[in-house]
A and B are shown apart, each in its own frame.
Chain A
Amino acid sequence: MHKEIQIKRYLPEEHAEPFWQTFRVPYDETTSVLGALNYIKEELDSTVSFRWSCRMAICGSCGYMVNGIPKLGCKDFVRNYPAALRIEPLAHFTVERDLMVAMDEFLQHLEAVKPYLIAEPSEPHKPHRQTPAQLAKYKQFANCINCGLCYAACPQFGLNPEFVGPGAIALAHRYNLDSRDQGKAKRMPVLNTHDGVWSCTFVGFCSDVCPKGVDPAAAVNQGKVESAKSMLIQMFRGGA
């Protein structure tokens, strides 16, 4: 079986504008979109550029738009596309070259929410206790692989790149919900701002495209409740 695959090329050293290029690729039931891209690079055109590594949907490198939907190339299959197959770089990110986008903004948002355990020093040689129920509260939000698909799905991030965005908010929420953490008060100021949780208009597409079932939309909306509470407390304290 063969498939025509169109790739949106961008080679700023040669062409000022992006252009589409079509490749004819053999495939079978097991061929992933990433597999097709590697075939193109090795057999047809070695200048086609894209990121990838683990090819098992855990490293988060290979996010692309496939027929307009953010997907992990290694976990999406050519067989899913009986008609056209068009691959583009992730939407809303700055395109550097071909399917490679700048990840720096995303990482800045990630850093801004202080995504690490903030706690008083504990007994140095002893683990905390955490029951399975306490673990279950945040575990889902700890499964984010930082692939950026949710940012490519988020219309608000598309309009306002300052928006902290679904992935980073999910991570803030992950630590806020962790029974070992005491850092919520330090994280909320970032989430309370206009560029924090309140930018979200609850489209929910971020959760639809998440390849790991993290449900960042739930995190953002639970974050809104927390944000409202924390702002009210600030108000009563006369801090707002």
Chain B
Amino acid sequence: MQQFEVLVVGGGGAGLRAAIAAAETAPEGRIALLSKVYPMRSHTVAAEGGAAAVTRADDSYAAHFADTVAGGDWLAEQGVVDYFVKQAYQELVQMEHWGCPWSRQANGDVQVRRFGGMKTERTWFAADKTGFHMLHTLFQTSLKHSNIQRFDEFFVVDLLVNDGEINGVLALEISTGELHAIQAKTVIMATGGAGRVFRFNTNGGIVTGDGMAMAYRHGVALRDMEFVQYHPTGLPGSGILITEASRGEGGVLVNKDGYRYLQDYGLGPETPLGKPENKYMELGPRDKLSQAFWQEQQRGRTGNYNGSDVVYLDLRHLGKDYLYERLPFICDLAKSYVNIDPVTQLIPIRPAVHYTMGGIETNAQTATSIRGLYAVGECASVGLHGANRLGSNSLTELLVFGRLAGEEAMRHARTSAPEMDQTKSAQTLRQWQQKLQTLTASKASGVTWVQLKRELVQTMEDGCGIYRTESGLQASLAKVRQLKQQYQQVQVGDTSRAYNTDLLQCLELEFCLDVAEAIVLASLERRESRGAHQRLDEGMTARNDQDFLRHSQVFFQSQADATLTWQAVDTSLSTPGERAYGAQGQQSEAR
């Protein structure tokens, strides 16, 4: 197979945007796009609410910056946030020029909606299927570029690295079971998050942390992995996402007594029904809302739906016409999956794991510590989200940093001549062939990935949830390490080569186990409460800038436990201050 200049792993929003940018940077450049699923199946498709960018005359970069930095509890890289807010608008305009069907005002201008933690309406949307429309727009636009060679259903299992420099990837062709060593001067990881490490989540089955684990195994740090976002509104049972835009459009949350409980948790005073106010009540940030659910649960004020503790999302006052215009998908999902008509009934909801703020550490230009290896999107930690991501920043992130990664990688490819170590690549290929043969050698008799996965997702939920304790985390860490040991004996039942989805899920679990160890270790070592990471232990329930205004970095150790170090945070533009919402937020802003 030929050598590529830029090889993108992952066909979601970030990967497609990067591939298009690389193709535009060098129209004759050789670009490969590998994805374990057809690109339009990627999980970007499930994003609902919208994409943020300063748009209105009464908004400013400074305001979007301030919301993002405070929303991330001052753990964001401020230079990165500054770049992001300034590039955001142009990227959304670019999507418009590519045909994205953004929702409009009567005069034909793009419409923006409210979103949690955002001071001004700045979220562009395409009804409540924004991710779907963005993904399809990007996929279809990518078809214009004949120099983007797609490898659909190629499952990348490893990176080819030679002396700190990328050489390409090792990919399993799903339709044949064949392994390919594919050479590339640069590789962009755009593999998405790791929400499937947890039992109850909003994520598709494919969101298994593959890219994070691959880079990590080659020595790149996983940064800020303790920050896992629970989305406050998932459907009970399935975890299916009910968009934050439901609240942006005026939906409210009530407990089993019909009481708008968020006013008890620093988000009030209560805003009148049908008059949502930015950064108050239901328009607080996701971490605070999910934590409020947990508090209500402790107080016995949650309801019950088929065995799950729930609170309720009330959209009834918005009326049928408005709901069908702004939230048609939500109406459909509620009807299909909990048999509820939001026009007349309350939707039962509860928090569900949604997003990994941390990921593969990159610099502000999306480059990792391996020369020629880049990372972008949810799999990456470029430093945008800090300790808690604001809704609608991540779809824009895919575009802003996807474009940057594509341009940077192509530029690097054109100015460098990495030494390709064929012998080493062949050796990696042989090791993996051996490994896959061993896994599929005989029908499973002992440990299966199914058993291990169940234990993993359970221990992550038990010990590493919305609120965490030293003992719970210790237990989870021990359990994850034990499961990693047990994985060494795992066998898959399917011995065939072509379309062996049993084997794929088994390999995905191995990625999950490595990522899980990093999440739990970082959660254990961060002995403070910040953003989405909340500790119940004495002396750890508040933010502690003195000791923990730092990024965690977890490093993989072959045949040993992972290790952790700390890294300074860029706070050059905004001094860490009090993070408050509702009336308190108003007061602290006035000061």
Closest-by-CB residue of A relative to B38 is A103
Is B575 in contact with chain A by the CB < 8 A criterion?
no
Is B108 in contact with chain A by the CB < 8 A criterion?
yes
Contact of A178 with B336 at beta-carbon distance under 8 Å, contacts A30-B306, A142-B133 already known: no
Contact between A116 and B144 (Cβ–Cβ < 8 Å)? Answer: yes
Contact of A131 with B46 at beta-carbon distance under 8 Å, contacts A30-B306, A58-B132, A116-B99 already known: no
Is B496 in contact with chain A by the CB < 8 A criterion?
yes
Contact between B204 and A97 (Cβ–Cβ < 8 Å)? Answer: no
Across the interface, which residues of A come within 8 angstroms of B143, CB to CB? 110-111, 114-116
Contact between A11 and B240 (Cβ–Cβ < 8 Å)? Answer: no
Contact between A129 and B498 (Cβ–Cβ < 8 Å)? Answer: no
Across the interface, which residues of A come within 8 angstroms of B97, CB to CB? 117, 119, 122, 127-128
Contact between A129 and B107 (Cβ–Cβ < 8 Å)? Answer: yes
Closest-by-CB residue of A relative to B497 is A13
Q: How far is the CA of A17 from the CA of B35 in the complex (A)?
A: 30
Closest-by-CB residue of B relative to A98 is B499
Contact between B333 and A56 (Cβ–Cβ < 8 Å)? Answer: yes
Q: Which of A47-55, A191-199, A217-225 contacts B (4 or more CB under 8 A)?
A: A47-55
Across the interface, which residues of A come within 8 angstroms of B75, CB to CB? none
Contact between B46 and A30 (Cβ–Cβ < 8 Å)? Answer: no
Closest-by-CB residue of B relative to A54 is B204
Q: How far is the CA of A97 from the CA of B363 in the complex (A)?
A: 43
Across the interface, which residues of A come within 8 angstroms of B42, CB to CB? 59
Contact between A58 and B496 (Cβ–Cβ < 8 Å)? Answer: no
Q: How far is the CA of A140 from the CA of B217 in the complex (A)?
A: 45
A contacts with B: majority SS: loop
Closest-by-CB residue of B relative to A128 is B96
Q: Mark B303-344, 1 if CB is under 8 A from A, else 0.
A: 000100000000000000000000001001100110100000
Of listed B110, B129, B136, residue having the most chain A CB within 10 A: B136
Q: How far is the CA of A171 from the CA of B38 in the complex (A)?
A: 17
Total A-B Cβ pairs within 8 A: 157
Q: How far is the CA of A61 from the CA of B43 in the complex (A)?
A: 11
Across the interface, which residues of A come within 8 angstroms of B494, CB to CB? 46-47, 49
Is A138 in contact with chain B by the CB < 8 A criterion?
yes
Q: How far is the CA of A122 from the CA of B45 in the complex (A)?
A: 27
Across the interface, which residues of B come within 8 angstroms of A111, CB to CB? 143
Across the interface, which residues of A come within 8 angstroms of B329, CB to CB? 58
Q: How far is the CA of A110 from the CA of B143 in the complex (A)?
A: 10
Contact between B40 and A47 (Cβ–Cβ < 8 Å)? Answer: no
Contact between B175 and A146 (Cβ–Cβ < 8 Å)? Answer: no
Of listed B46, B133, B140, residue having the most chain A CB within 10 A: B140
Q: Which among A30, A43, A54, A58 is the interface contact of B337 at CB below 8 angstroms?
A: A30
Is B448 in contact with chain A by the CB < 8 A criterion?
yes
Q: Which among A42, A46, A116, A132 is the interface contact of B104 at CB below 8 angstroms?
A: A132
Is A130 in contact with chain B by the CB < 8 A criterion?
yes
Contact of A117 with B99 at beta-carbon distance under 8 Å, contacts A46-B450, A56-B240 already known: yes
Number of interface residues of A (CB under 8 A): 62
Closest-by-CB residue of B relative to A122 is B97
Looking at the assembled complex, report how far the CB atom of A53 sits from the nearest CB atom of chain B, in whole angstroms: 4
Q: How far is the CA of A20 from the CA of B575 in the complex (A)?
A: 66
Q: How far is the CA of A57 from the CA of B336 in the complex (A)?
A: 10
Q: Mark B476-505, 1 if CB is under 8 A from A, else 0.
A: 000000000000000011101111111000
Closest-by-CB residue of B relative to A38 is B205
Across the interface, which residues of A come within 8 angstroms of B102, CB to CB? 127
Closest-by-CB residue of A relative to B175 is A96
Is A165 in contact with chain B by the CB < 8 A criterion?
no
Q: How far is the CA of A55 from the CA of B242 in the complex (A)?
A: 14
Q: How far is the CA of A54 from the CA of B92 in the complex (A)?
A: 25
Q: Mark B442-453, 1 if CB is under 8 A from A, else 0.
A: 001000101000
Across the interface, which residues of A come within 8 angstroms of B118, CB to CB? none
Across the interface, which residues of A come within 8 angstroms of B502, CB to CB? 41, 46-47, 49
Q: How far is the CA of A127 from the CA of B98 in the complex (A)?
A: 10
Q: Which among B104, B106, B136, B499 is the interface contact of A97 at CB below 8 angstroms?
A: B499
Contact between B498 and A178 (Cβ–Cβ < 8 Å)? Answer: no
Is B141 in contact with chain A by the CB < 8 A criterion?
yes
Across the interface, which residues of B come within 8 angstroms of A43, CB to CB? 450
Contact of A46 with B237 at beta-carbon distance under 8 Å, contacts A178-B99, A181-B99 already known: no
Contact between A145 and B132 (Cβ–Cβ < 8 Å)? Answer: yes
Contact between B110 and A59 (Cβ–Cβ < 8 Å)? Answer: no
Is A135 in contact with chain B by the CB < 8 A criterion?
yes
Across the interface, which residues of A come within 8 angstroms of B133, CB to CB? 142
Of listed A52, A56, A100, A124, residue having the most chain B CB within 10 A: A56
Q: Which among B45, B96, B107, B492 is the interface contact of A127 at CB below 8 angstroms?
A: B96
Is B80 in contact with chain A by the CB < 8 A criterion?
no
Closest-by-CB residue of A relative to B101 is A142
Contact between A116 and B98 (Cβ–Cβ < 8 Å)? Answer: yes
Across the interface, which residues of B come within 8 angstroms of A14, CB to CB? 496
Contact between A134 and B497 (Cβ–Cβ < 8 Å)? Answer: no
Q: Which among B98, B103, B240, B450 is the interface contact of A55 at CB below 8 angstroms?
A: B240
Contact of A46 with B493 at beta-carbon distance under 8 Å, contacts A61-B41, A115-B140, A125-B90 already known: yes
Contact between A131 and B93 (Cβ–Cβ < 8 Å)? Answer: no
Q: Tell me the A62-111 residues at the B interface (CB within 8 Å).
A: 75, 96-98, 100, 103, 107, 110-111
Looking at the assembled complex, report how far the CB atom of B113 sits from the nearest CB atom of chain A, in whole angstroms: 15
Contact of A127 with B93 at beta-carbon distance under 8 Å, contacts A56-B241, A146-B40 already known: yes
Is B160 in contact with chain A by the CB < 8 A criterion?
no
Is B238 in contact with chain A by the CB < 8 A criterion?
yes
Is A163 in contact with chain B by the CB < 8 A criterion?
no
Across the interface, which residues of A come within 8 angstroms of B152, CB to CB? 103, 107
Contact between A131 and B106 (Cβ–Cβ < 8 Å)? Answer: yes
Q: Which among B107, B240, B492 is the interface contact of A131 at CB below 8 angstroms?
A: B107
Is A204 in contact with chain B by the CB < 8 A criterion?
no
Q: Which among B106, B108, B132, B492 is the interface contact of A46 at CB below 8 angstroms?
A: B492
Looking at the assembled complex, report how far the CB atom of A37 sits from the nearest CB atom of chain B, in whole angstroms: 11
Is B70 in contact with chain A by the CB < 8 A criterion?
no
Looking at the assembled complex, report how far the CB atom of A180 sits from the nearest CB atom of chain B, in whole angstroms: 7
Looking at the assembled complex, report how far the CB atom of A119 sits from the nearest CB atom of chain B, in whole angstroms: 8
26 contacts between A and B (CB under 8 A): A30-B306, A43-B450, A46-B494, A46-B502, A47-B493, A49-B499, A51-B41, A53-B204, A53-B205, A54-B43, A54-B204, A56-B46, A59-B45, A59-B204, A96-B499, A107-B38, A111-B143, A119-B97, A130-B104, A130-B108, A131-B107, A131-B108, A132-B103, A138-B101, A139-B101, A180-B99
Q: 4 closest pairs, A vs B, by CB?
A: A129-B108, A117-B99, A53-B204, A46-B493
